[in-house]
Structure 1
Amino acid sequence: MSTVVVVRGGWEGHRPVEVTDRYVTRLRQLGHEVVTSGTLDTYLDADLLRRADLVVHCWTMGTATGEQVAGLAAAVRAGTGLAGWHGGIIDSFRGSPDYQRITGGQFVHHPAEFVTYDVTPIGTHPVVAGIPPFTVHTERYQVHVDPAIEVHAVTVVDSVAVPVVWTTRFGAGRVFVTTVGHELKDLEVPEHDEIIMRGLAWASR
């Protein structure tokens, strides 16, 4: 049984409690211990993070203190996994390069309206192996990314393959990111839901 810490809050437009509850329920059904928190001070709780196998971070925008980011960084560096989707993980703490170093990417832009676009899994990584291309109608993120990330799904924008799903490592910790997830319905797309469940499992210690 793994211990999963879910930290959720920030901009309410992404409905952080509702969307994370989707996975809290399922993880508990699978037998995992899940601790939920609505405060970034969770990242100051070294004892909790030391026993956590995975942190699911869902906190859009907002501001974290240097100590809070350092606490998360220390936990991931020591082997705690980190996972999340959309702005909940890659539009947190826009003024914190130290946080962005952990996630391997940062949201920079999306069209004003929702768009319909294809997501194409690539490669044989366990997060996407065997999953066919799928279509979503939602915000399409464009991101700045660390060249060290490993990209597992893309969408094509103006003939350029833009990362949608990636993994990276920060010290001993594994990090999983998908840029899709503005609304609950985006998490209910079967192929995307499967990628998230696999991503949570892969990132866990």
Structure 2
Amino acid sequence: MLFRSFQAVALTLLLLQHAGASEDSYRMPDYGDHAPPAARPPADVRALLAGSDDAPQRDAPLKLLLVAGVKDHGPGEHDYPAWQKVWARLLAKAPRTEVSTAWEFPLPEEADAADVMVFYQKGDWNDRRAALIDAFLARGGGLAIIHYAVNGNQAAPEFAKRIGLASETGKIGYRHGPLDIDFGPGAGHPIARNLNRVAWHDETYWRLSGDPRSINLLGTSIEEGESTPQFWTTQQGPGRVFVSVPGHYMWTFDDPAFRLLLMRGIAWAGGRNVDRFNDLVTLDARIGQ
């Protein structure tokens, strides 16, 4: 009990230290003119991290490839290049983690060297992408797909066969604003551990192409009066896929709850312990006093 009490005090001090930072090298550099939502309370972060494993001391090495593209929204939104730059350094701080980057779409040799490819860009789907992604998943590679990377343009139904659900620009529903994500559907999944209902200020998508029965649903939001998938996983043979629809605003990537969820998804997609990135969850994150 004394050891657990010491751990709780140490974590509290760590959270407060990170929360006091101003110009942070592991934060997104630009939120635009938008006022960010309130910082996450330290008690909430402690609750999310409860029951963590000591995975970094014994988890297998992991090679990540972060794939970004041209920025396509205003300041503080869809800043794929800034995300790639910051998260490449952030994720590389984890033990036995090697991080590389690719622009727009990986070369075959870049994909061959990766255990997990993380896509944050305006998505697309074509024969070239299909050939590389299918081969990658068939050998047991993992994918993490963030926000607009779910876009498949007119080939969204084909893209959905690989990632579960996909969007076609002009046909989906979307909304910016407060999100109330219910993780009840993901209860029992390691990615959703300690998550129940989480509030963010970001963007949802719905009316997606694909078969909802093909996904393992983690979290939902109510849109147009119906429960809609916002976080899920799926498997393609030995390959694993994690998808996060939220990720529109840059402040979301600095929120410890979103970091925890996304980092767990990346680790899970690579077949690793979901707690391997826990030390990064609070690093320069937006945590209140």
TM-score bucket of the superposed structures, by smaller chain: 0.7 to 0.9
Q: How does the TM-score come out when normalised to structure 1?
A: 0.87
> Higher Cα Rg: structure 1 or 2?
2
SS in 2 for 1:26: helix
Distance 1:150 1:191 in 2: 20
Cα shift readout 1:13-37 (whole Å, capped 9, x = no counterpart):
2111112334322220014111101
> Do residues 38 (structure 1) and 99 (structure 2) align?
no
Counterpart residue type for residue 28 of structure 1: A
Q: CA RMSD in A?
A: 2.0
- Percent sequence identity over aligned pairs: 23
Q: Gapped runs of 5+ residues in structure 2?
A: 1-60, 272-289
**Aligned positions of 1:101-140 closer than 5 A:** 101-107=161-167, 108-111=172-175, 114-122=176-184, 123-140=187-204
**How many Å apart are 1:105 and its aligned residue?**
0.8
**Aligned positions of 1:1-205 closer than 5 A:** 1-13=61-73, 14-31=78-95, 32-40=97-105, 42-43=106-107, 45=108, 47-61=109-123, 63-88=124-149, 90-107=150-167, 108-111=172-175, 114-122=176-184, 123-142=187-206, 143-146=208-211, 147-205=213-271
Return the structure number with greater strand share: 1
Distance 2:226 2:254 in 1: 27
**How many Å apart are 1:131 and its aligned residue?**
1.8
Number of equivalenced pairs: 198
Cα shift readout 1:22-74 (whole Å, capped 9, x = no counterpart):
4322220014111101142x24x1x432331100012214x554123211221
Distance 1:83 1:185 in 2: 19
Distance 2:194 2:248 in 1: 25
Q: How does the TM-score come out when normalised to structure 2?
A: 0.63
Q: Residues 93 and 159 (structure 1 numbering): CA distance in 2 closer, same or farther, change over 3 Å? A: closer
SS in 1 for 2:69: strand
Distance 1:201 1:152 in 2: 15
